[in-house]
Structure 1
Amino acid sequence: MNVHTASMTGTAMAYVSISGVRKTYGSPRGPVAALEGIDLQVREGEFVSILGPSGCGKSTLLKCIAGLEPTTAGQIVIDGRPLKGPPHDMGMVFQRDVLLDWRTILDNVLITAEFIGRKGPEVRARASALLARFGLGGFEDRHPWELSGGMRQRAAICRALLCDPKLLLMDEPFGALDAMTRDDLNLELARIWQDTRKTVVFITHGISEAVFLSDRVVMMDRNPGRIVEIIDIDLPRPRHLALRETPEFGRYVAHIRHLFASLGILKDDDPETGSGDHS
């Protein structure tokens, strides 16, 4: 198991470079530090999960990377350019699907192309192909209120992928789904990444999910939000759900649980197996 306590050295390889980022919000009682001293380099084509408890600032960090929140201090550089707003070559999936109920599923997916003025049969064909890949073939003319939560989130992922972004940001996209649907979407996301090698920054509070999907797992603590450890996940790809039953996978999960337990974030009832919850 390879563990780093600092960010990747050298920024030449980095597609996303985060240096000394701090984020502070004002309040009647004074400033509140949401993020402090964030240093992280994400290589091009890498799948990085940011893992931590509620309130650790992981979603705030993602919004800063997306150019949706200004930083109080520090710098974010994407593809060699200092961030000054949402990157043009970015797709984003939120915790909620944010579909428009008055548009069909196909038209919801096409929104991202409309924003940049792309139209025509080729774009519609790509949208239909993505929907089919995510098990939504035949649902193009349905409306969001006719679909289950899992199906809606699949459509949201298709929308984010439509314009083939180099950078994909995902903010706990599967957190509200049942376990079986979540497993299914984890597998499909892993296949998509394997095929396209997009740069992915994935926010989650699920330890097993982070280990299963990622090349590296960035662990955060709160008050203020900060990185406490970065773990290389040296597991073979392509990955299948059976991987979660292997000793190697279990060691990564146990290590993460032990660290969170040492920080007082969760209980660790068995020091040998790391059997606390929060998986």
Structure 2
Amino acid sequence: MYSSNETAVGVPDATGAYVSLSQVSKTYASSRGPIPALVDINLDIRPHEFISVVGPSGCGKSTLLKLVAGLEGVSAGSVRVAGRQLDGPPDRLGAVFQRDVLLDWRTILDNVLLSIEFTRKPTPAERDRAMALLKRFGLAGFEDRFPFELSGGMRQRASICRALLADPELLLMDEPFGALDAMTRDDLNVELAQIWQDTRKTLLFITHSIVEAVFLSDRVVMMSKAPGKIVDTITIDLPRPRRLAVRDSAEFAAYVQRIRHHFAELGILKE
């Protein structure tokens, strides 16, 4: 069910990218004048690639994700997904946010099925798939519970199940583990790394955590203070599948230190 061989892939553009941002800028209007959020963003994400974006608060990371999701339009430049210029949310999109956005009056299973119900009635096979996802994420036996009966980590697991149910080609995650305790966050990092290993979704992940970005990603995109610009992109050459123990390795520490040092040079972090 979760084999990467069964995952359909959209048509990349001429560069081989599944997601392509070219000379993208985003400026918001305000009563005190324009507020630039992003400037000259160029980023290509290949099919099946796991990309994390790290940077200081307010640098436009979430704005970048909204542009790729088609939830907002660019002020300049272009965003293409599967070879098509965006004029709204792309097909086969899944999204997970820091807040789980579960509906309190629906059971956990019904919340997961909501991603299908937006367009049609779920089939029995899709209900079975929803149950399988809940089991995989440790929520078997909780499908008839309501969100207020679950912990924050369990609610976020349900949110990820909802995003995966429709088998998206592109998965966007905006600081999904930012509000969780350290142990739960580690656990979900491992589970996400494994689900990506199995399904090979094209994945854009927003985080404040350098360690989390290095652990999960194929490449880490570093952003400057606002207005956000891409200041470097680091390829993470660590073997997969990854376990938490890799964080104790010299190679892992070197990647983290490289990113920290670059941010320190930019005046974003103190060493």
TM over 0.5: yes
Deviation of 1:119 (Å)? 1.6
Give the % identical residues.
69
Matched, 1:88 2:129: no
Distance 2:53 2:18 in 1: 16
Q: Given the two structures, how large is their TM-score scaled by the length of structure 2?
A: 0.94
- Could you report, residue by residue, the CA deviation over 1:48-89 in whole angstroms, capped at 9, with x for unpaired residues? 001111000000000000001111011000001101100121
Asked if structure 2 preserves the Cα contact closer than 8 Å seen for 1:34 and 1:225, the reply is: yes
Q: Is the 8 A contact 2:221 2:233 kept in 1?
A: yes
User: What SS does structure 1 have at the residue aligned with 2:53?
Assistant: strand
Residue 63 of structure 2, aligned match among 51, 60, 65: 60
Q: Give the aligned partner of residue 131 of structure 1.
A: 134
Letter in 1 for 2:97: F
The residue type equivalent to 1:166 in the other structure is E
Match in the other structure for 1:35: 38
Conserved in 2, the CA contact under 8 Å of 1:49 and 1:202?
yes
Equivalences for residues 8-19 of structure 1 within 5 A: 11-19=14-22
Question: Secondary structure in 2 aligned to 1:161?
Answer: helix
User: Any conservation in 1 of the 2:100–2:155 contact (CA below 8 Å)?
Assistant: yes
CA distance in 2, matches of 1:215, 1:109: 28
| Structure 1: runs of 5 or more not aligned | 1-9, 269-279
Deviations 1:107-152 (A, max 9, x none): 0000001112142211110000000000000000000000000000
Match of 1:151 among 150, 154, 157: 154
Any conservation in 2 of the 1:56–1:223 contact (CA below 8 Å)? yes
Q: Say whether the 8 Å CA contact 2:70–2:89 is kept in structure 1.
A: yes
- Relative distance call for 1:164 and 1:118 in structure 2 (3 A) is farther
Pair 1:246 & 2:249 matched: yes
Give the whole-Å Cα distance in 2 for the aligned partners of 1:201 and 1:266. 23
1:73 and 1:267 map into 2 onto residues whose CA distance is: 33
What is the count of residue pairs matched by the alignment? 259
Matches within 5 A, 1:39-54: 39-54=42-57
Provide the residue aligned with 1:192 in structure 2: 195
Ranges of 4+ aligned residues in structure 1 off by more than 2 Å: none
State the partner residue of 2:182. 179
1:121 corresponds to 2:148: no
- Is residue 225–residue 268 contact of structure 2 (8 Å, CA) maintained in 1? no
Change (3 A) 1:238 1:224: same
* Cα deviation 1:243-265 (Å, max 9, x = unaligned): 00000000000000001111111
Letter paired with 2:172: L
State the secondary structure of the residue aligned to 1:38. Answer: strand
- What amino acid does structure 2 have at the position aligned with 1:200? L
SS at match of 1:110: helix
The 3 A distance-change label for structure 1 pair 151 and 243 is same
Distance (Å, rounded) in 1 between the aligned partners of 2:42 and 2:131: 39
Letter in 1 for 2:48: G
Task: Quote the offset at 1:103 in angstroms.
Answer: 0.2
Secondary structure of the structure 2 residue equivalent to 1:85: coil
2 CA distance for matches of 1:229 and 1:118? 45
CA distance in 2, matches of 1:11, 1:50: 24
Q: Structure 2: give runs of 5+ residues left out of the alignment.
A: 1-12
Higher mean C-alpha deviation, range 21-30 or range 41-50: 21-30
Match of 2:205 in 1: 202
Could you state the TM-score of these two structures normalised by the residue count of structure 1?
Answer: 0.92
Distance in 2 (alpha carbons) for counterparts of 1:192 and 1:12: 27
Q: Secondary structure at the match of 2:18?
A: strand
2:230 to 227, 237, 254: 227
CA RMSD after TM alignment? 0.9
Deviation of residue 16 (structure 1)? Answer: 0.1
Does structure 1 residue 75 correspond to structure 2 residue 70? no
